[in-house]
C-alpha cells in the first residue's frame, strides 16, 4: 500500500500565488532608469549550455530597455577550464542592436574538435559599464559542456501525460529516449511536441520537451528550460521544472527548492513533474503558479495512483470545490474515490475502502485528470482510492492526505462597509482611470481602511483579466497628515502596491521627520486620500538584486475620494465625516485569501490561470 505525503498549506499557497508574494525581506531600490542604452543579460537566460555533436556556434540573446536608434555596445569576455584560462570560444567584442529592437543575438563560435567530452567550460561575458542598466545583469557566466549521447530511440508504445495547470485530463503522447555514452547513469526522455514532423499530432506542448533523468537519484530536470513550450493569451511561455527555476532562473530564498524536486518511480515508470511556466518582460521574470503534472512511461507494470492538490474551483452556482489532480498507473483499469474529513489512520482507511468494495453501485472512474470535491470546513482531508482491474475486481487501496482551507468564508468579518467611493488607478493603463469601489473600515482600528477588490470593476479589462479571489488595498489614515498605503497584494501574481512612506518607515533607518522631509506623507482630508508625486508604486518581477520597485504616480494624485452626490446611485461615503483615533496604533495589514481557479470551460477544456492579470 502506498501513502502519499501531506501537501502542506505553505505548498498550496505557493501553487496558487507562484513567486509573487512580497515580504519584509524585499529589497527596495528606488533607482530610476538611466539615460543610456540600458543593455543587459536577462535573468531568465539559461546559463547551462549542453552542446550537441559537431555544434560550432552558441547563440546568446542580449537585451536593452531603451530601443531608440541603432547602437553598438562594447563587450568583454573571459573563458576557463578547471580554473585555467583557455582560448576555445570566439566571442565578439561588441553587440549591435537594430533601431527599435530590444534584443540582439551574440554568436559565440567554437571549433568542436577542441571540445572534450564531460568537461565543464566556463565563459563569462560582460557589458561595458557605460551601457549597463540597474534592471538587468551586466555580467553573465555560462557553463558549457558536451556529453555524447546515443541516437534518439522511439518508444513504440504511447505514454500518458496528465495535466495539472493549463489543461485538464490525461492524454496519449509519444516519447523518445537516449543514454549518455560516457555516463550510463544519465538518460534523457523527449516528450514529443507539436513541432515534431513525424508525431506532432500527439504533441503535448507546442515544442518537444526534454527530461534529464539521473538514474542514481531518480531526479528529473527540464534543464535547459524549453522556450516557447506553449502560447497562452498571446504570450510565448518557457517551461522548466520548479527546482531549476528556483536555483537557476530566479534568485530567492523564500522557498526551498529541494521541496520541489521532480522525480521518477523506477518501479512503476511514473514521473512526477513539478513544473512552472514563465516569460520575461523588460528583463524581469513573471511566472504562473507552480503545478504538479504526471508522465506515465509505457512498459511498466503499475497499479499505483498519484495525487496532487491543485487548488480550488468555484462553480457558477457559488459552490466551493477542492481540485485534486489524479493519475493512475498503466495497469489500473478503473478506480473509486471517497473523500473523508480528517487525517485517517491506516485502520480507518481500510474501513472506508471496505465500504467502497461492498457498494454494488459504486462509481468507477477510468481517466486521469482533475477531480473536484465539495468541502464544508477547514481541516485535514483524506482521499481514499480503491483500484480495480479489467474484470471489475478490486486490486488495491491507496490514499492521499492534504489540508484544505475554505475560501468562501466571511471575508468581511471584522470590517464594516462605508459604501462606495471613487478610486483613481495609476496601475493598469498609461493614464489615470477612475471607477467606483467599496471601502471598508476596520472594526477594532477605525484608522485602517481597505478598498475591496479594487480591480473587480475596472473598465476596459476582459473578464479573465479581472482579479479573482479576495484582494484589498489597505490604507493607514490613523494620522490624517501621515497617510500611507500599506503593502497590498492585488492580483494572482501577487503584484504588491505600497507607498514610499511605508517603505521608509520600515527600512529601520528613516524617522517620521525623514518621511516628511522627503515629501512622502499622504493626507486624508474631507474623506479624500491624496498622495504626493512619486509617493507610491508596486513591486513586481525578479532581477539579480532582488525585487524591483516601480513608481506609479509622477504627479500629485487623489487616490480615493467621495462619490459626487448626484452620481451616488447607492449609499456611499459621500461627504460623511470619518472619525479616526488620534493615537497611531501598531502597523496593520489584513490577510489575503487564496485566489481561486475559474470554473473550467467544457468546450475548451482549459483552466483559468494568471501570471499578470493587470495590463501594462
The structure's pTM equals 0.54
Name the helix (H) or strand (E) containing 110: strand 103-110
- pLDDT score at 16: 25
**List of the chain residues with pLDDT < 50:** 1-35, 464-465, 492-493, 541-547, 567-616
Question: Which candidate, 147, 141, 241, 234, places its Cα nearest to that of 191?
Answer: 241
Cell matching residue 260: 520541489
Sign of the CA dihedral running 564, 566, 569, 573:
positive
- pLDDT score at 545: 41
- pLDDT score at 161: 93
- pLDDT score at 15: 26
- Convert 196-224 to b/e letters by CB count within 10 Å (16 or more is b): beebeebbbbbbbbbbbbeeeeeebbbbb
- pLDDT score at 130: 53
- pLDDT score at 595: 26
Amino acid at each position: 500500500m502506498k501513502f502519499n505525503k501531506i501537501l502542506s498549506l505553505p505548498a498550496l499557497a505557493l501553487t496558487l500565488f507562484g513567486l509573487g508574494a512580497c515580504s519584509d525581506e524585499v529589497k527596495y531600490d528606488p533607482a530610476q532608469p538611466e539615460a543610456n542604452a540600458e543593455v543587459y543579460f536577462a535573468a531568465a537566460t539559461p546559463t547551462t549550455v549542453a552542446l550537441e555533436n559537431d555544434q560550432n556556434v552558441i547563440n546568446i540573446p542580449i537585451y536593452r530597455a531603451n530601443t531608440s536608434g541603432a547602437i553598438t555596445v562594447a563587450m568583454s569576455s573571459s573563458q576557463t577550464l578547471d580554473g585555467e584560462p583557455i582560448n576555445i570560444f570566439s566571442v565578439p567584442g561588441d553587440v549591435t542592436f537594430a533601431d527599435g529592437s530590444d534584443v540582439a543575438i551574440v554568436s559565440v563560435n567554437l571549433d568542436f574538435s577542441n571540445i572534450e567530452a564531460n568537461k565543464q567550460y566556463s565563459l563569462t561575458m560582460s557589458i561595458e559599464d557605460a551601457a549597463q542598466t540597474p534592471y538587468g545583469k551586466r555580467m553573465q557566466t555560462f557553463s558549457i559542456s558536451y556529453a555524447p549521447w546515443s541516437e534518439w530511440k522511439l518508444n513504440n508504445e504511447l505514454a500518458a501525460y496528465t495535466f495539472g495547470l493549463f489543461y485538464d485530463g490525461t492524454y496519449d503522447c509519444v516519447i523518445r529516449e537516449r543514454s549518455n555514452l560516457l555516463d550510463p547513469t544519465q538518460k534523457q526522455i523527449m516528450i514529443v511536441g507539436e513541432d515534431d514532423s513525424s508525431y506532432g499530432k500527439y504533441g503535448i506542448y507546442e515544442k518537444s520537451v526534454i527530461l534529464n533523468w539521473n538514474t542514481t537519484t531518480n531526479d528529473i530536470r527540464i534543464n535547459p528550460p524549453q522556450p516557447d513550450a506553449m502560447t497562452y493569451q498571446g504570450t510565448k511561455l518557457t517551461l522548466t521544472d520548479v527546482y531549476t527555476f528556483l536555483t537557476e532562473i530566479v534568485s530567492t530564498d523564500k522557498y526551498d527548492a529541494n521541496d520541489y524536486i521532480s522525480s521518477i518511480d523506477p518501479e512503476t515508470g511514473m514521473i512526477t513533474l513539478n513544473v512552472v511556466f514563465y516569460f520575461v518582460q523588460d528583463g524581469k521574470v513573471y511566472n504562473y503558479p507552480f503545478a504538479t503534472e504526471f508522465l506515465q512511461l509505457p512498459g511498466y507494470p503499475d497499479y499505483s495512483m498519484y495525487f496532487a492538490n491543485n487548488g480550488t474551483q468555484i462553480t457558477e452556482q457559488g459552490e466551493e470545490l477542492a481540485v485534486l489532480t489524479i493519475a493512475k498507473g498503466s495497469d489500473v483499469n478503473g478506480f473509486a474515490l471517497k473523500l473523508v474529513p480528517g487525517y485517517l489512520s491506516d485502520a480507518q482507511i481500510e474501513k472506508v475502502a471496505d465500504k467502497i468494495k461492498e457498494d454494488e453501485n459504486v462509481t468507477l472512474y477510468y481517466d486521469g485528470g482533475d477531480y473536484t470535491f465539495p468541502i464544508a470546513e477547514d481541516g485535514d482531508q483524506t482521499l481514499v482510492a480503491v483500484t480495480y482491474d479489467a474484470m471489475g475486481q478490486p486490486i488495491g487501496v491507496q490514499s492521499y492526505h492534504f489540508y484544505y482551507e475554505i475560501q468562501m468564508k466571511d471575508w468581511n468579518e471584522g470590517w464594516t462597509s462605508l459604501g462606495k467611493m471613487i478610486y483613481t488607478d495609476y496601475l493598469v493603463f498609461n493614464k489615470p482611470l477612475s471607477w467606483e469601489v467599496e471601502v471598508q473600515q476596520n472594526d477594532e482600528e477605525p484608522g485602517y481602511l481597505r478598498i475591496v477588490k479594487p480591480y473587480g470593476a475596472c473598465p476596459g479589462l476582459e473578464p479573465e483579466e479581472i482579479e479573482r479571489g479576495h484582494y484589498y488595498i489597505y490604507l493607514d489614515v490613523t494620522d490624517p497628515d501621515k497617510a500611507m498605503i500599506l503593502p497590498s497584494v492585488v492580483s494572482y501574481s501577487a503584484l504588491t502596491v505600497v507607498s514610499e512612506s511605508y517603505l521608509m518607515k520600515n527600512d529601520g533607518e528613516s524617522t517620521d521627520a525623514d518621511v516628511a522631509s522627503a515629501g512622502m506623507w499622504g493626507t486624508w482630508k474631507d474623506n479624500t486620500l491624496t498622495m504626493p508625486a512619486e509617493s507610491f508604486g508596486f513591486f513586481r518581477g525578479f532581477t539579480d538584486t532582488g525585487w524591483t520597485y516601480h513608481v506609479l504616480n509622477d504627479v500629485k494624485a487623489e487616490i480615493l475620494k467621495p462619490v459626487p452626490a448626484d452620481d451616488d446611485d447607492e449609499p456611499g461615503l459621500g461627504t460623511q465625516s470619518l472619525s479616526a483615533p488620534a493615537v497611531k496604533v501598531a502597523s496593520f495589514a489584513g490577510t489575503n485569501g487564496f485566489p481561486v481557479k475559474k470554473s473550467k470551460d467544457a468546450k475548451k477544456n482549459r483552466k483559468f490561470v494568471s501570471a499578470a492579470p493587470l495590463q501594462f
